[in-house]
């Protein structure tokens, strides 16, 4: 009975084998008592109950325990997200885009009308990463993040799993925070998948060397790679901001498709507003305006002012929509 041995190694319950249980002296003893009672009925269920008795820590309000418990829930959440076939499919799709762009550039070359960044890819494979991210950051990446974010709470509510998470008890604030972290990690993963795929495709298909930036200066290749990291990180923060918008929408409904659609519509709506010249004054307040601002990293010196403003807008969105999500979710009736 291996379960009994393992139980001995944990500290919380007296072992039924060597300590006679005293009924009613607390949870741990109770667990052992179940074990003893069941031994009469069958050895298997005896081991079972004792294992259960060892399961709960008596006091885990201490912060290290609480932090570990949060990490465990984050791990569970990430495992769920990254094992889910739908999400894997989205990541694979994202990984394919840089390859397709690379093949297209290789096959058709470039002519006079192609933008500078495109011709630069032909000269340096590293530029493929920037090109891919700038093409994806306005639609496909937000779509992927919108799906995960919109589904986060609404999907659990729709499936009824939300009520079991909350009676576990996951804690509403805690669950929301874990969901937010999960969305952020997924956004980062999505951006990283594009960057890595772009980097590999670029290395394989195009010459790689010192990078000529948009501002005309040439920097060594390692400096170029560092800039790839910066661009990826910046995009990920932009996606996380959108993710919190999606999370807030997700707390408003029990229909996950509705939450996903609403999140994506927000993106498209922002882009339309941003494209209308008469609405120029509104542009700086739109999330979508700042997503492509990472080309500041392709200048020398890096255009920190523009990117800094972008990060501020992202943070503001994250705060406001995080607060909306919390305000809505912490008191909501869970009737699904």
Partner 1 sequence: MTTITGEGAHEAAPPRVTHTEASPGDCSIVARGLTKRFRGGQVAVDDLHLSVPRGSVFGFLGPNGSGKTTTIRMLLGLISPTSGACEVLGRPMPGGLASALPKVGAVVEGPAFYPYLSGQANLLRYDAADPKADPRTARQRVGAALDRVGLGAAAGKRYRAYSLGMRQRLAIAGALLGPRELLVLDEPTNGLDPQGTREVRSLIKEIASDGTTVFVSSHLLAEVEQMCTDIGVMRTGRLVAQGTIAELRAGHEPRVRVETPHPAQAASVLNRLGLARVRTGEDDVEAELGGHAPEVVCAELVGDGVAVRGFTVVRPSLEELFVGLTGEGFDVDG
Interaction site with partner 1 (CB under 8 A): 3, 6-7, 10, 12, 23-24, 27-28, 30-31, 33-34, 37-38, 40-41, 44-45, 47-49, 51-57, 60, 65-66, 68-70, 72-73, 75-76, 80, 84-85, 159-161, 163-171, 174-175, 331, 333-335
Closest separation in Å from C-beta 329 to partner 1? 12
Nearer to partner 1 among residue 41 and residue 216 (C-beta): 41
* CA dist., res. 262 & res. 242, Å (int): 12
Closest separation in Å from C-beta 190 to partner 1? 20
Closest separation in Å from C-beta 11 to partner 1? 10
96 burial (CB, 10 Å; 0-12 / 13-18 / 19+) is middle
Q: Where are the alpha helices (DSSP H) in 172-220?
A: 172-205
Closest separation in Å from C-beta 145 to partner 1? 21
Residue 164: partners with Cβ closer than 8 Å, 6 or more residues away:
none
40 burial (CB, 10 Å; 0-12 / 13-18 / 19+) is exposed
The C-alpha angle with vertex 30 and arms to 26 and 34, in degrees rounded to 5, equals 180
Nearer to partner 1 among residue 6 and residue 218 (C-beta): 6
Nearer to partner 1 among residue 44 and residue 106 (C-beta): 44
Six-digit token string for 282: 């509104």
Q: Which residues pair with 211 in a beta bridge?
A: 219
Cβ atoms of 207 and 124 closer than 8 Å = yes
Nearer to partner 1 among residue 10 and residue 215 (C-beta): 10
Nearer to partner 1 among residue 164 and residue 269 (C-beta): 164
Burial 113-126, CB ≥16 within 10 A → b, else e: eeeebbebbbebbb
Nearer to partner 1 among residue 151 and residue 213 (C-beta): 151
Cβ atoms of 298 and 121 closer than 8 Å = no
Closest separation in Å from C-beta 243 to partner 1? 21
Nearer to partner 1 among residue 118 and residue 166 (C-beta): 166
The three-class DSSP label of residue 218 is strand
- Region for residue 304 given its phi and psi (left: phi exceeds 0; alpha: psi -120 to 50; beta: otherwise): alpha
* CA dist., res. 148 & res. 100, Å (int): 24
Six-digit token string for 17: 């084998």
Closest separation in Å from C-beta 254 to partner 1? 12
Closest separation in Å from C-beta 297 to partner 1? 38
Nearer to partner 1 among residue 86 and residue 106 (C-beta): 86
Cβ atoms of 213 and 300 closer than 8 Å = yes
Closest separation in Å from C-beta 159 to partner 1? 6
């Amino acid at each position: 009975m291996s379960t009994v041995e393992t139980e001995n190694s944990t500290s919380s319950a007296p072992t039924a084998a060597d300590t006679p249980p005293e009924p009613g002296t607390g949870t741990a003893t109770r667990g052992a008592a179940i074990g003893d009672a069941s031994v009469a009925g069958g050895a298997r269920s005896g081991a079972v109950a004792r294992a259960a008795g060892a399961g709960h820590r008596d006091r885990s309000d201490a912060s290290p325990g609480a932090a570990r418990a949060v990490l465990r829930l984050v791990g569970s959440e990430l495992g769920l997200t990254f094992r889910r076939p739908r999400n894997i499919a989205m990541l694979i799709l994202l990984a394919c885009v840089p390859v397709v762009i690379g093949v297209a550039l290789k096959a058709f070359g470039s002519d006079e009308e192609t933008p500078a960044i495109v011709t630069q890819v032909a000269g340096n494979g590293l530029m493929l990463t920037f090109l891919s991210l700038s093409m994806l950051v306005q639609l496909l990446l937000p779509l992927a993040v919108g799906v995960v974010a919109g589904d986060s709470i609404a999907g659990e509510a729709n499936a009824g799993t939300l009520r079991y998470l909350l009676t576990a008890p996951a804690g509403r604030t805690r669950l929301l925070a874990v969901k937010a972290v999960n969305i952020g990690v997924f956004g980062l993963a999505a951006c990283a998948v594009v960057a890595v795929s772009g980097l590999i495709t670029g290395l394989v298909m195009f010459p790689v060397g010192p990078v000529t930036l948009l501002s005309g200066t040439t920097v060594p290749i390692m400096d170029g790679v560092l800039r790839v990291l910066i661009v990826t990180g910046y995009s990920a923060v932009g996606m996380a901001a959108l993710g919190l918008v999606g999370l807030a929408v997700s707390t408003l409904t029990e229909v996950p498709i509705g939450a996903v659609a609403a999140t994506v519509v927000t993106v498209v709506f922002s882009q339309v507003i941003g494209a209308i010249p008469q609405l120029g004054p509104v542009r700086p307040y739109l999330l979508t305006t700042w997503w492509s601002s990472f080309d500041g990293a392709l200048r020398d010196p890096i255009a920190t002012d523009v990117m800094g403003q972008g990060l501020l807008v992202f943070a503001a969105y994250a705060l406001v929509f995080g607060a909306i999500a919390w305000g809505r979710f912490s008191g909501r009736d869970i009737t699904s």
